[in-house]
Structure 1
Protein backbone atom coordinates (compact mmCIF):
# COMPACT_ATOMS: atom_id res chain seq x y z
CA UNK A 1 0.00 0.00 0.00
CA UNK A 2 1.26 3.53 -0.76
CA UNK A 3 1.91 6.21 1.85
CA UNK A 4 -1.39 7.91 1.02
CA UNK A 5 -2.70 10.23 3.74
CA UNK A 6 0.42 9.70 5.89
CA UNK A 7 2.09 12.97 6.87
CA UNK A 8 5.73 13.09 7.91
CA UNK A 9 6.17 15.51 10.82
CA UNK A 10 9.90 14.85 11.28
CA UNK A 11 12.51 12.66 9.62
CA UNK A 12 16.21 12.11 10.34
CA UNK A 13 18.70 9.22 10.45
CA UNK A 14 17.48 8.00 13.84
CA UNK A 15 13.70 8.37 13.82
CA UNK A 16 10.49 9.20 12.00
CA UNK A 17 7.57 11.10 13.50
CA UNK A 18 4.34 10.43 11.62
CA UNK A 19 0.88 11.95 11.87
CA UNK A 20 -1.08 8.69 11.63
CA UNK A 21 -4.54 8.88 10.07
CA UNK A 22 -7.55 7.27 11.69
CA UNK A 23 -8.57 3.74 10.60
CA UNK A 24 -4.98 2.55 10.19
CA UNK A 25 -3.32 -0.03 12.43
CA UNK A 26 0.09 0.81 13.90
CA UNK A 27 1.34 -2.79 13.47
CA UNK A 28 -0.05 -5.81 11.60
CA UNK A 29 -3.02 -7.59 13.12
CA UNK A 30 -3.11 -11.34 13.63
CA UNK A 31 -5.44 -12.00 10.70
CA UNK A 32 -3.95 -12.03 7.20
CA UNK A 33 -6.39 -9.33 6.05
CA UNK A 34 -5.06 -7.03 8.81
CA UNK A 35 -1.53 -6.89 7.44
CA UNK A 36 -1.96 -3.34 6.15
CA UNK A 37 -0.65 -0.97 8.81
CA UNK A 38 1.59 2.05 9.31
CA UNK A 39 4.87 0.18 9.84
CA UNK A 40 4.26 -2.11 6.85
CA UNK A 41 3.50 0.82 4.56
CA UNK A 42 6.68 2.56 5.65
CA UNK A 43 8.80 -0.57 5.26
CA UNK A 44 7.45 -1.15 1.75
CA UNK A 45 7.88 2.47 0.66
CA UNK A 46 11.46 3.49 1.29
CA UNK A 47 11.91 2.83 5.01
CA UNK A 48 12.63 -0.93 5.34
CA UNK A 49 14.40 -0.32 8.64
CA UNK A 50 11.41 1.36 10.37
CA UNK A 51 10.65 -0.12 13.80
CA UNK A 52 7.60 0.63 15.90
CA UNK A 53 8.30 2.16 19.34
CA UNK A 54 4.76 2.65 20.66
CA UNK A 55 1.25 2.23 19.27
CA UNK A 56 -1.93 4.15 18.63
CA UNK A 57 -5.28 2.40 18.38
CA UNK A 58 -6.67 1.75 14.89
CA UNK A 59 -9.19 4.60 15.22
CA UNK A 60 -6.88 7.02 17.05
CA UNK A 61 -5.04 9.52 14.86
CA UNK A 62 -2.01 11.65 15.55
CA UNK A 63 1.67 11.60 16.45
CA UNK A 64 3.61 8.35 16.55
CA UNK A 65 7.39 7.81 16.50
CA UNK A 66 9.31 5.02 14.78
CA UNK A 67 13.01 4.24 15.09
CA UNK A 68 15.34 3.68 12.13
CA UNK A 69 18.04 1.55 13.78
CA UNK A 70 18.38 -0.89 16.67
CA UNK A 71 20.15 1.49 19.07
CA UNK A 72 17.61 4.27 18.53
CA UNK A 73 14.77 1.78 18.95
CA UNK A 74 16.24 0.56 22.22
CA UNK A 75 16.69 4.08 23.60
CA UNK A 76 13.28 5.38 22.52
CA UNK A 77 11.59 2.28 23.92
CA UNK A 78 13.39 2.87 27.20
CA UNK A 79 12.15 6.46 27.33
CA UNK A 80 8.55 5.33 26.90
CA UNK A 81 8.98 2.55 29.46
CA UNK A 82 10.56 4.89 32.01
CA UNK A 83 7.94 7.59 31.32
CA UNK A 84 10.50 10.13 30.17
CA UNK A 85 8.34 11.10 27.21
CA UNK A 86 5.42 13.51 27.39
CA UNK A 87 2.15 12.91 25.54
CA UNK A 88 -1.09 14.82 25.22
CA UNK A 89 -4.26 14.01 23.31
CA UNK A 90 -7.09 16.20 22.09
CA UNK A 91 -10.54 14.64 22.35
CA UNK A 92 -14.24 15.44 22.16
CA UNK A 93 -16.24 14.01 25.04
CA UNK A 94 -19.96 13.83 25.68
CA UNK A 95 -21.42 16.50 27.96
CA UNK A 96 -19.70 19.16 30.03
CA UNK A 97 -17.61 18.16 33.07
CA UNK A 98 -18.52 20.08 36.23
CA UNK A 99 -14.87 20.95 36.89
CA UNK A 100 -12.36 22.49 34.51
CA UNK A 101 -9.73 19.81 35.15
CA UNK A 102 -9.11 16.67 37.14
CA UNK A 103 -7.39 13.32 37.42
CA UNK A 104 -8.61 9.77 36.92
CA UNK A 105 -6.72 7.11 38.88
CA UNK A 106 -8.47 3.82 38.10
CA UNK A 107 -6.83 0.43 37.39
CA UNK A 108 -7.54 -1.29 34.08
CA UNK A 109 -7.47 -4.81 32.69
CA UNK A 110 -8.34 -6.54 29.44
CA UNK A 111 -11.79 -8.15 29.49
CA UNK A 112 -11.79 -11.31 27.29
CA UNK A 113 -15.59 -11.85 27.42
CA UNK A 114 -16.12 -8.43 25.78
CA UNK A 115 -13.04 -8.53 23.52
CA UNK A 116 -11.37 -6.13 22.70
CA UNK A 117 -12.78 -3.99 25.51
CA UNK A 118 -10.97 -3.12 28.74
CA UNK A 119 -12.62 -2.57 32.10
CA UNK A 120 -11.87 -1.00 35.47
CA UNK A 121 -10.92 -3.65 38.02
CA UNK A 122 -9.78 -2.53 41.48
CA UNK A 123 -8.63 -6.03 42.40
CA UNK A 124 -6.84 -7.30 39.30
CA UNK A 125 -6.37 -4.18 37.15
CA UNK A 126 -3.05 -2.46 36.43
CA UNK A 127 -2.42 1.06 37.70
CA UNK A 128 -3.60 3.72 35.23
CA UNK A 129 -3.52 7.50 35.67
CA UNK A 130 -4.91 10.20 33.39
CA UNK A 131 -5.06 13.98 33.81
CA UNK A 132 -7.70 15.95 31.91
CA UNK A 133 -8.67 19.57 31.38
CA UNK A 134 -11.45 21.28 29.46
CA UNK A 135 -10.34 23.32 26.46
CA UNK A 136 -13.78 24.35 25.23
CA UNK A 137 -17.39 23.80 26.30
CA UNK A 138 -19.69 23.24 23.34
CA UNK A 139 -23.06 22.39 24.86
CA UNK A 140 -23.73 18.69 24.49
CA UNK A 141 -20.00 17.97 24.15
CA UNK A 142 -16.64 19.39 25.27
CA UNK A 143 -13.16 19.62 23.79
CA UNK A 144 -10.64 18.29 26.30
CA UNK A 145 -6.93 17.71 26.61
CA UNK A 146 -6.01 14.29 28.00
CA UNK A 147 -2.59 13.51 29.45
CA UNK A 148 -1.89 9.84 30.15
CA UNK A 149 0.79 9.25 32.76
CA UNK A 150 0.63 5.50 32.23
CA UNK A 151 0.14 3.92 28.82
CA UNK A 152 -2.51 1.21 29.21
CA UNK A 153 -4.53 -0.02 26.24
CA UNK A 154 -7.76 1.98 25.79
CA UNK A 155 -6.83 3.97 28.92
CA UNK A 156 -8.20 7.34 27.82
CA UNK A 157 -11.39 5.86 26.40
CA UNK A 158 -12.22 3.80 29.50
CA UNK A 159 -11.24 6.55 31.94
CA UNK A 160 -13.46 9.12 30.24
CA UNK A 161 -16.32 6.63 30.22
CA UNK A 162 -15.76 6.10 33.95
CA UNK A 163 -16.43 9.78 34.70
CA UNK A 164 -19.53 9.64 32.47
CA UNK A 165 -18.03 11.62 29.59
CA UNK A 166 -17.36 9.00 26.85
CA UNK A 167 -15.57 10.08 23.72
CA UNK A 168 -17.66 10.97 20.70
CA UNK A 169 -17.74 8.35 17.96
CA UNK A 170 -16.29 5.61 20.18
CA UNK A 171 -17.74 2.36 18.85
CA UNK A 172 -16.48 0.35 21.82
CA UNK A 173 -17.42 2.50 24.79
CA UNK A 174 -19.76 5.36 23.85
CA UNK A 175 -23.47 5.27 24.55
CA UNK A 176 -25.88 5.72 21.65
CA UNK A 177 -25.97 9.53 21.70
CA UNK A 178 -22.20 9.95 22.01
CA UNK A 179 -21.61 7.39 19.27
CA UNK A 180 -23.98 9.14 16.89
CA UNK A 181 -22.51 12.59 17.63
CA UNK A 182 -19.50 12.08 15.33
CA UNK A 183 -18.51 9.83 12.45
CA UNK A 184 -15.14 8.82 13.93
CA UNK A 185 -13.50 8.28 17.29
CA UNK A 186 -12.62 11.81 18.44
CA UNK A 187 -9.21 11.06 19.91
CA UNK A 188 -6.01 12.54 18.45
CA UNK A 189 -2.42 12.35 19.71
CA UNK A 190 -1.67 16.06 19.49
CA UNK A 191 1.63 16.47 21.37
CA UNK A 192 4.70 14.31 21.82
CA UNK A 193 7.94 15.26 23.54
CA UNK A 194 10.99 12.99 23.61
CA UNK A 195 14.77 13.07 23.77
CA UNK A 196 16.60 12.43 20.53
CA UNK A 197 18.27 9.01 20.89
CA UNK A 198 21.52 10.10 19.24
CA UNK A 199 22.21 13.74 20.10
CA UNK A 200 20.27 14.03 23.39
CA UNK A 201 18.25 17.09 22.30
CA UNK A 202 14.76 17.42 23.74
CA UNK A 203 12.21 17.52 20.89
CA UNK A 204 8.56 18.56 20.95
CA UNK A 205 6.09 17.80 18.16
CA UNK A 206 2.51 19.03 17.77
CA UNK A 207 -0.39 18.11 15.51
CA UNK A 208 -3.77 19.81 15.32
CA UNK A 209 -6.79 17.54 15.80
CA UNK A 210 -8.81 17.09 12.57
CA UNK A 211 -12.14 17.43 14.41
Structure 2
Protein backbone atom coordinates (compact mmCIF):
# COMPACT_ATOMS: atom_id res chain seq x y z
CA UNK A 1 0.00 0.00 0.00
CA UNK A 2 1.34 3.45 -0.92
CA UNK A 3 0.26 6.74 0.65
CA UNK A 4 0.73 10.14 -0.98
CA UNK A 5 -0.31 13.68 -0.02
CA UNK A 6 -0.53 16.70 -2.30
CA UNK A 7 -1.31 20.34 -1.62
CA UNK A 8 -3.08 22.46 -4.22
CA UNK A 9 -1.30 25.71 -5.06
CA UNK A 10 -2.49 28.84 -6.82
CA UNK A 11 -1.61 27.46 -10.28
CA UNK A 12 -3.81 24.42 -9.60
CA UNK A 13 -7.00 26.38 -8.86
CA UNK A 14 -9.85 25.17 -11.10
CA UNK A 15 -8.11 21.94 -12.16
CA UNK A 16 -10.19 18.79 -11.84
CA UNK A 17 -8.91 16.59 -9.03
CA UNK A 18 -8.67 13.47 -11.22
CA UNK A 19 -6.62 15.38 -13.81
CA UNK A 20 -4.38 16.88 -11.09
CA UNK A 21 -3.57 13.50 -9.55
CA UNK A 22 -2.98 11.82 -12.92
CA UNK A 23 -0.54 14.58 -13.88
CA UNK A 24 1.35 14.26 -10.60
CA UNK A 25 1.49 10.47 -10.39
CA UNK A 26 2.99 8.76 -13.45
CA UNK A 27 1.90 5.33 -12.23
CA UNK A 28 -1.80 6.27 -12.43
CA UNK A 29 -3.97 6.96 -15.47
CA UNK A 30 -6.93 9.29 -15.23
CA UNK A 31 -9.33 6.33 -15.34
CA UNK A 32 -7.26 4.67 -12.62
CA UNK A 33 -7.59 7.79 -10.48
CA UNK A 34 -11.35 7.84 -11.02
CA UNK A 35 -11.56 4.21 -9.92
CA UNK A 36 -9.61 4.98 -6.74
CA UNK A 37 -11.98 7.89 -6.03
CA UNK A 38 -15.01 5.63 -6.46
CA UNK A 39 -13.47 3.05 -4.10
CA UNK A 40 -12.78 5.69 -1.46
CA UNK A 41 -8.97 5.62 -1.70
CA UNK A 42 -8.72 9.36 -2.44
CA UNK A 43 -9.89 11.98 0.05
CA UNK A 44 -10.03 15.76 -0.10
CA UNK A 45 -9.41 17.62 3.15
CA UNK A 46 -10.24 14.42 4.99
CA UNK A 47 -13.55 13.79 3.23
CA UNK A 48 -14.76 11.86 0.19
CA UNK A 49 -14.71 13.68 -3.15
CA UNK A 50 -16.03 13.37 -6.70
CA UNK A 51 -13.75 13.08 -9.75
CA UNK A 52 -15.05 16.33 -11.29
CA UNK A 53 -14.27 18.44 -8.19
CA UNK A 54 -12.29 21.55 -9.13
CA UNK A 55 -9.42 22.36 -6.82
CA UNK A 56 -9.17 25.39 -4.59
CA UNK A 57 -5.98 26.83 -3.17
CA UNK A 58 -4.67 24.99 -0.07
CA UNK A 59 -6.81 21.91 -0.69
CA UNK A 60 -5.10 18.79 0.69
CA UNK A 61 -5.41 15.56 -1.31
CA UNK A 62 -4.61 12.19 0.26
CA UNK A 63 -4.06 9.28 -2.13
CA UNK A 64 -3.97 5.64 -1.04
CA UNK A 65 -2.70 3.26 -3.74
CA UNK A 66 -3.54 -0.41 -3.02
CA UNK A 67 -0.91 -3.02 -3.81
CA UNK A 68 -1.30 -4.55 -7.25
CA UNK A 69 -1.19 -8.33 -7.43
CA UNK A 70 1.70 -9.18 -9.74
CA UNK A 71 1.10 -11.57 -12.61
CA UNK A 72 3.77 -14.25 -12.80
CA UNK A 73 6.10 -13.68 -15.75
CA UNK A 74 7.11 -16.97 -17.35
CA UNK A 75 10.08 -17.79 -19.62
CA UNK A 76 9.04 -18.47 -23.23
CA UNK A 77 11.01 -20.11 -26.01
CA UNK A 78 10.84 -17.18 -28.44
CA UNK A 79 13.66 -16.79 -31.02
CA UNK A 80 16.02 -13.87 -30.41
CA UNK A 81 18.20 -12.09 -32.97
CA UNK A 82 21.31 -11.80 -30.79
CA UNK A 83 24.00 -9.43 -32.06
CA UNK A 84 26.40 -9.85 -29.13
CA UNK A 85 26.48 -11.51 -25.71
CA UNK A 86 28.91 -11.89 -22.83
CA UNK A 87 28.63 -12.25 -19.05
CA UNK A 88 27.60 -8.58 -18.64
CA UNK A 89 25.43 -7.58 -21.57
CA UNK A 90 23.31 -8.95 -24.36
CA UNK A 91 22.53 -6.94 -27.50
CA UNK A 92 19.49 -7.91 -29.57
CA UNK A 93 17.73 -6.76 -32.71
CA UNK A 94 14.07 -6.44 -31.66
CA UNK A 95 11.49 -7.04 -34.39
CA UNK A 96 8.60 -4.67 -35.00
CA UNK A 97 5.52 -5.77 -33.10
CA UNK A 98 7.29 -7.21 -30.05
CA UNK A 99 6.61 -5.58 -26.68
CA UNK A 100 9.77 -5.10 -24.59
CA UNK A 101 8.43 -5.91 -21.12
CA UNK A 102 5.14 -7.25 -19.70
CA UNK A 103 2.38 -4.72 -19.13
CA UNK A 104 -1.42 -4.86 -18.84
CA UNK A 105 -2.64 -6.68 -21.93
CA UNK A 106 0.84 -7.98 -22.76
CA UNK A 107 1.89 -10.55 -20.16
CA UNK A 108 3.39 -12.99 -22.66
CA UNK A 109 5.26 -12.92 -25.94
CA UNK A 110 7.47 -10.04 -24.80
CA UNK A 111 11.21 -9.59 -25.10
CA UNK A 112 11.49 -10.19 -21.34
CA UNK A 113 9.74 -13.57 -21.67
CA UNK A 114 12.24 -14.52 -24.37
CA UNK A 115 15.23 -13.25 -22.36
CA UNK A 116 14.16 -15.18 -19.27
CA UNK A 117 14.15 -18.39 -21.32
CA UNK A 118 17.50 -17.63 -22.96
CA UNK A 119 19.37 -16.22 -19.93
CA UNK A 120 17.71 -17.98 -17.01
CA UNK A 121 18.65 -16.15 -13.82
CA UNK A 122 21.41 -14.15 -15.54
CA UNK A 123 19.55 -10.85 -15.75
CA UNK A 124 19.84 -7.70 -13.66
CA UNK A 125 17.11 -7.38 -11.06
CA UNK A 126 17.33 -3.60 -10.64
CA UNK A 127 14.12 -2.85 -12.54
CA UNK A 128 12.10 -5.48 -10.67
CA UNK A 129 10.37 -8.70 -11.63
CA UNK A 130 8.53 -7.31 -14.66
CA UNK A 131 11.58 -5.73 -16.29
CA UNK A 132 14.63 -7.89 -15.50
CA UNK A 133 17.71 -6.63 -17.34
CA UNK A 134 15.85 -3.84 -19.15
CA UNK A 135 17.96 -0.66 -19.12
CA UNK A 136 16.05 1.19 -21.84
CA UNK A 137 13.18 0.34 -24.15
CA UNK A 138 11.81 1.00 -27.60
CA UNK A 139 8.14 1.02 -28.57
CA UNK A 140 6.32 -2.13 -29.63
CA UNK A 141 6.08 -0.96 -33.25
CA UNK A 142 9.69 0.27 -33.38
CA UNK A 143 12.29 -2.23 -34.55
CA UNK A 144 16.01 -2.25 -33.89
CA UNK A 145 18.94 -2.62 -31.55
CA UNK A 146 18.46 -2.85 -27.78
CA UNK A 147 20.86 -3.55 -24.88
CA UNK A 148 20.08 -5.67 -21.82
CA UNK A 149 22.10 -5.94 -18.58
CA UNK A 150 22.88 -9.41 -17.23
CA UNK A 151 23.89 -8.25 -13.75
CA UNK A 152 23.30 -5.27 -11.47
CA UNK A 153 26.80 -3.83 -11.89
CA UNK A 154 26.40 -3.72 -15.68
CA UNK A 155 22.91 -2.26 -15.28
CA UNK A 156 24.16 0.58 -13.09
CA UNK A 157 26.95 1.40 -15.54
CA UNK A 158 24.65 1.48 -18.57
CA UNK A 159 22.00 3.46 -16.70
CA UNK A 160 24.61 6.07 -15.70
CA UNK A 161 25.71 6.38 -19.33
CA UNK A 162 22.09 6.93 -20.35
CA UNK A 163 21.69 9.58 -17.64
CA UNK A 164 24.91 11.29 -18.80
CA UNK A 165 23.71 11.25 -22.46
CA UNK A 166 26.89 9.44 -23.52
CA UNK A 167 25.22 6.50 -25.28
CA UNK A 168 24.96 6.70 -29.07
CA UNK A 169 21.40 6.10 -30.29
CA UNK A 170 20.61 6.73 -33.94
CA UNK A 171 17.27 5.99 -35.58
CA UNK A 172 15.98 5.99 -39.14
CA UNK A 173 12.46 7.32 -39.69
CA UNK A 174 10.20 8.15 -42.60
CA UNK A 175 8.33 11.37 -41.96
CA UNK A 176 5.69 13.45 -43.71
CA UNK A 177 6.66 16.57 -45.69
CA UNK A 178 9.91 17.91 -47.05
CA UNK A 179 12.63 19.86 -45.24
CA UNK A 180 14.19 23.11 -46.36
CA UNK A 181 17.20 22.46 -44.12
CA UNK A 182 19.61 19.51 -44.22
CA UNK A 183 19.78 19.06 -40.46
CA UNK A 184 18.53 20.57 -37.22
CA UNK A 185 17.94 20.21 -33.49
CA UNK A 186 14.68 20.05 -31.55
CA UNK A 187 15.25 21.15 -27.95
CA UNK A 188 11.79 21.12 -26.36
CA UNK A 189 10.61 19.63 -23.03
CA UNK A 190 8.37 16.57 -23.08
CA UNK A 191 5.78 15.52 -20.51
CA UNK A 192 2.35 13.93 -20.30
CA UNK A 193 -0.20 15.49 -22.60
CA UNK A 194 -2.48 17.44 -20.24
CA UNK A 195 -5.50 16.60 -22.43
CA UNK A 196 -4.72 12.90 -22.96
CA UNK A 197 -2.62 11.10 -20.37
CA UNK A 198 -1.92 8.19 -22.71
CA UNK A 199 0.06 10.52 -24.96
CA UNK A 200 3.18 12.61 -24.50
CA UNK A 201 3.52 16.19 -25.71
CA UNK A 202 5.83 19.20 -25.84
CA UNK A 203 4.75 21.02 -22.69
CA UNK A 204 6.23 23.26 -20.02
CA UNK A 205 4.25 21.65 -17.19
CA UNK A 206 5.58 18.56 -15.37
CA UNK A 207 8.06 17.95 -18.21
CA UNK A 208 11.74 17.17 -18.70
CA UNK A 209 14.22 18.53 -21.21
CA UNK A 210 14.35 16.57 -24.45
CA UNK A 211 16.82 17.02 -27.31
CA UNK A 212 16.69 15.35 -30.72
CA UNK A 213 19.23 15.91 -33.53
CA UNK A 214 18.03 15.13 -37.04
CA UNK A 215 19.42 15.14 -40.57
CA UNK A 216 17.93 14.45 -43.98
CA UNK A 217 19.05 11.23 -45.66
CA UNK A 218 16.76 11.20 -48.70
CA UNK A 219 13.86 13.26 -50.01
CA UNK A 220 10.96 11.36 -51.62
CA UNK A 221 8.27 13.79 -52.73
CA UNK A 222 5.96 14.42 -49.77
CA UNK A 223 8.03 12.16 -47.53
CA UNK A 224 11.57 12.25 -46.15
CA UNK A 225 13.90 9.60 -44.80
CA UNK A 226 15.79 11.04 -41.83
CA UNK A 227 18.30 10.02 -39.20
CA UNK A 228 17.32 11.08 -35.68
CA UNK A 229 19.92 10.94 -32.90
CA UNK A 230 18.78 11.05 -29.30
CA UNK A 231 20.64 13.23 -26.82
CA UNK A 232 18.01 12.47 -24.18
CA UNK A 233 15.61 9.54 -24.04
CA UNK A 234 12.07 10.55 -23.18
CA UNK A 235 9.02 8.42 -23.91
CA UNK A 236 8.03 8.69 -27.61
CA UNK A 237 10.65 11.45 -27.98
CA UNK A 238 11.29 11.21 -31.73
CA UNK A 239 7.59 10.80 -32.53
CA UNK A 240 6.61 13.80 -30.38
CA UNK A 241 9.45 16.07 -31.51
CA UNK A 242 8.99 15.39 -35.22
CA UNK A 243 5.24 15.98 -34.95
CA UNK A 244 5.97 19.22 -33.10
CA UNK A 245 8.03 20.58 -36.01
CA UNK A 246 5.47 19.49 -38.61
CA UNK A 247 6.97 16.13 -39.66
CA UNK A 248 4.96 13.31 -38.02
CA UNK A 249 6.16 9.79 -38.66
CA UNK A 250 4.54 7.81 -41.44
CA UNK A 251 2.27 5.16 -39.91
CA UNK A 252 2.02 6.89 -36.51
CA UNK A 253 -1.70 6.89 -35.68
CA UNK A 254 -1.09 8.34 -32.20
CA UNK A 255 0.83 11.50 -33.08
CA UNK A 256 0.35 11.68 -36.84
CA UNK A 257 -2.72 12.01 -39.08
CA UNK A 258 -5.50 9.46 -38.52
CA UNK A 259 -5.77 8.86 -42.25
CA UNK A 260 -2.54 7.30 -43.49
CA UNK A 261 -1.63 6.72 -47.15
CA UNK A 262 -0.40 3.15 -46.49
CA UNK A 263 -1.67 0.34 -44.30
CA UNK A 264 1.29 -0.05 -41.95
CA UNK A 265 1.65 -2.06 -38.74
CA UNK A 266 3.00 0.99 -36.91
CA UNK A 267 5.24 4.02 -37.24
CA UNK A 268 8.16 3.84 -39.68
CA UNK A 269 10.90 4.02 -37.04
CA UNK A 270 13.97 1.82 -36.67
CA UNK A 271 16.67 1.91 -33.97
CA UNK A 272 19.66 1.51 -36.28
CA UNK A 273 22.77 2.29 -34.18
CA UNK A 274 23.60 1.76 -30.51
CA UNK A 275 26.97 2.55 -28.96
CA UNK A 276 28.16 2.43 -25.34
CA UNK A 277 31.14 1.87 -23.06
CA UNK A 278 31.34 -1.76 -21.97
CA UNK A 279 30.71 -1.94 -18.19
CA UNK A 280 33.72 -4.20 -17.52
CA UNK A 281 36.30 -3.66 -20.27
CA UNK A 282 35.80 0.10 -20.67
CA UNK A 283 35.87 -0.40 -24.44
CA UNK A 284 33.51 1.55 -26.68
CA UNK A 285 31.23 -0.84 -28.57
CA UNK A 286 28.86 0.08 -31.38
CA UNK A 287 26.24 -2.02 -33.11
CA UNK A 288 24.34 -1.29 -36.31
CA UNK A 289 21.41 -3.28 -37.65
CA UNK A 290 20.00 -3.05 -41.19
CA UNK A 291 16.50 -1.81 -41.92
CA UNK A 292 13.88 -4.58 -41.73
CA UNK A 293 12.42 -5.82 -45.01
CA UNK A 294 9.08 -4.07 -44.43
CA UNK A 295 10.89 -0.74 -44.01
CA UNK A 296 12.93 -1.34 -47.19
CA UNK A 297 9.80 -2.21 -49.20
CA UNK A 298 8.11 0.97 -47.97
CA UNK A 299 11.10 3.03 -49.11
CA UNK A 300 10.96 1.40 -52.55
CA UNK A 301 7.27 2.29 -52.89
CA UNK A 302 7.93 5.90 -51.90
CA UNK A 303 10.84 6.22 -54.33
CA UNK A 304 8.71 4.82 -57.13
Partner of 2:112: 39
Alignment of 1:1-211 (within 5 A): 1-4=76-79, 6-29=80-103, 31=104, 33-36=105-108, 37-50=110-123, 51-111=133-193, 113-177=195-259, 179-181=260-262, 183=264, 184-210=266-292, 211=295
C-alpha distance in structure 1 between counterparts of 2:176 and 2:120, whole Å: 40
Q: What is the TM-score of this pair, normalised by structure 1?
A: 0.92
Q: Is the 8 A contact 1:133 1:145 kept in 2?
A: yes
Higher radius of gyration, 1 or 2: 2
- Unaligned runs of 5+ residues in structure 1 are none
Q: CA deviation at 1:125?
A: 2.4
**SS of the counterpart of 1:117?**
strand
Aligned-residue Cα RMSD (Å) equals 1.6
CA distance in 1, matches of 2:170, 2:218: 16
| Residue pair 1:79, 1:85 contacting (<8 A) in 2 also | yes
Q: Number of aligned residue pairs: give it.
A: 207
Which structure is richer in relative contact order (CA contacts within 8 A, separation 6 or more)?
1
Conserved 8 A contact 1:42-1:48? no
**Cα distance in structure 2, aligned partners of 1:190 and 1:84:** 17
- Give the drift of 1:54: 0.8
Normalised by the size of structure 2, how large is the TM-score?
A: 0.65
